[in-house]
Amino acid sequence: METARWSTALLTAAIETPLFYLFGCRQVGDCLWFALINVMSNLLLNDTLRVAPLESCFWGILLSGELVAVVLEFALCRCLLSSVRCSGGGKLFLVVLSTNLASFLCGVIWGLLLT
């Protein structure tokens, strides 16, 4: 179970970090911070889903958790990434939202393939 938890978090970072780079955030330090932030938010979201009553409201909890993850990642990126610390947050928010949407869709597709 612990291995699957970390594998999922690292896979999410492996999907989102290259997209972050492709969206123009090219400083290596910022990409590393972004990957670390993604691993942390994924672990938090998946731990929340593990204790949630999945049968009755899985999608509501999942979508709410994804929204919280986007806000958390955006806030941490604004504080920690040197390339965006002093700039406007509009582009960064769209990048964080887009990368999360991409990994969310990959997860949904993967889940559908497994069922």
pLDDT one-digit tens code per residue, 29-66: 999 999 999 999 999 998 888 887 767 787 888 889 99
Number of domains in the chain: 1
Q: Which one, of 34, 44, 29, lies nearest residue 14 by Cα? A: 34
pLDDT at 71 over 90: yes
CB atoms within 10 A of CB 33: 20
* Mean pLDDT for the stretch of residues 79-97: 80
CB 74 within 8 A of CB 96: yes
Q: Report the predicted TM-score, pTM, of the whole model to 2 decimal places.
A: 0.88
For CA atoms 112, 17, 102, 97, give the dihedral sign. Answer: positive
In this prediction, residue 50 carries a pLDDT of 83
CB 70 within 8 A of CB 100: yes
Q: Please give the residue range of the domain that contains residue 105.
A: 2-114
38 DSSP 8-state letter: H
pLDDT at 86 over 70: no
